[in-house]
A = this chain, B = another copy of it.
Amino acid sequence: MRNGSSVTIYQVARAAGVSPSTVSNLLNGRPGRMLPATRQRVEEAIEQLGYRPNRTARQLRTGRTQAIGLVVPSVANPFWGTFARHLEGAALAEDYHVLLCNSEREPERERRYLEQLWDDGIRGVVLCSSLPSLDHVKPLLEAGLTVVAFDRTAQPGDPEALVNISVDNVVGAHLVTQHLLDLGHRRLAYVSGSLRAVNRQERYRGYLSAITDAGLDLADANAELSTSDTSYGDRDAAELGRARTVELLGSANPPTALVAMNDMCALGVCAGVRDTGRQVAEDVSVVGFDDILLAELCAPALTTVRQPLERMAAEAFQHLRAGIEGGAPLPGRSLLIRPELVVRASTAPPR
């Protein structure tokens, strides 16, 4: 009795006076193969003995698991934490489990995780990878893994079977930059970690396009990019924002508005602004991206771009399920969500 209670299908069968096959048939949506009376006897036996199927055995036999993998940079980042929560909620509703994997933005770790998940029988994964290339998942995709790439738009050269779900980063960054321009700002800067990540690059593109679309010259607008090439993790996004901001504001002709690659970074930027003795909004406008929970709690509340995480998580899960239960992965497709500008108190007209 290593396994605790462990009522098996055989015991149910004996109790109901049928064969294990019949119990299995009932359990697997083939109740038509028996008389209603038999069916009831089996159901009673199941009830009585408190039978619960052994998922491991089932998985070994069928090759299917009721679990999906979630690979995120780090769930310590509230953005990913919130996403994880929503994904898990969607999964729970269909009796699926979620295996949590923090890649810490290390490619090698990410690869290792995916393989491990595959070995564990997982056939569907939400991959939140910032890597510019997803070639390393190709073998798994070919073997039959369903992968939803989240927060990463489809790239030329991506594996075919990939499903992409992402907010439109270009539009989002455009929106928020436009907002700053509308307020009258002309000297802007963009604060970002390494631009090797696809979504970061898109956001930067949106930022630039808003400036040029407004008929401004990039040089005139004094649009700067303050980045760092070392591979910053999430926990350091804020520190990065803080350090860069102090630098930027110390320069000769400092920007009056700062666009951060995401909210965590923006919080750091705000801290940096204060470090130099200035006030956010009054002296320097700051905007973020994501609309994490804290964006509206910090002082001043952050103007940012909202990602509808719950909807996106539900969508991601449904894709996975379709891929897993359909047996074959879905044909690759791309879902681009239109983000929403959320104006709060961290932006104001320049002095």
Contacts and interface: CB of A to CB of B under 8 A. Distances in A.
Given A59-B56, A238-B297, A89 B102 contact: yes
A101 interface: yes
B299 A63 contact: no
A155 interface: no
A116 interface: yes
A99 B101 contact: no
A76 interface: yes
Interface in A73-125: 74-78, 80-82, 84-85, 88-89, 95, 97-102, 116, 118-121
Given A98-B100, A299-B298, A76 B293 contact: yes
Interface stretch (A126-134, A179-187, A268-276): A268-276
A52 interface: yes
Best-surrounded residue of A3, A57, A75, A80 (most CB of chain B within 10 A):
A75
Contact of A56 (B53, B56, B95): B56
B5 A143 contact: yes
A322 to B, nearest CB: 18
Contacts of A34: none
A238 B296 CA distance: 10
A55 interface: yes
A19 interface: no
Given A56-B120, A76-B78, A81-B76, A99 B102 contact: no
Given A4-B143, A299-B271, A85 B89 contact: no
A267 interface: yes
Nearest to A4: B143
Best-surrounded residue of A5, A77, A280, A294 (most CB of chain B within 10 A):
A294
Nearest to A120: B55
A258 to B, nearest CB: 15
A102 B85 contact: yes
B121 A56 contact: yes
A280 to B, nearest CB: 8
Given A56-B60, A299-B299, A75 B70 contact: no
Contacts of A101: 88
A2 interface: yes
A204 B4 CA distance: 40
A331 to B, nearest CB: 19
A235 interface: yes
Given A78-B81, A84-B100, A238-B297, 5 more contacts: A56-B56, A78-B78, A98-B99, A294-B294, A294-B298
27 contacts: A4-B118, A54-B60, A54-B121, A55-B119, A55-B121, A56-B56, A56-B60, A67-B120, A75-B81, A75-B84, A75-B85, A76-B82, A76-B84, A76-B85, A76-B293, A81-B81, A88-B100, A88-B102, A95-B116, A97-B99, A97-B116, A99-B100, A100-B100, A235-B293, A238-B293, A294-B294, A299-B299
Interface of A: 2-5, 52-57, 59-60, 63, 65, 67, 70, 74-78, 80-82, 84-85, 88-89, 95, 97-102, 116, 118-121, 143-144, 235, 238, 242, 267-268, 270-271, 274, 280, 293-294, 297-299, 301
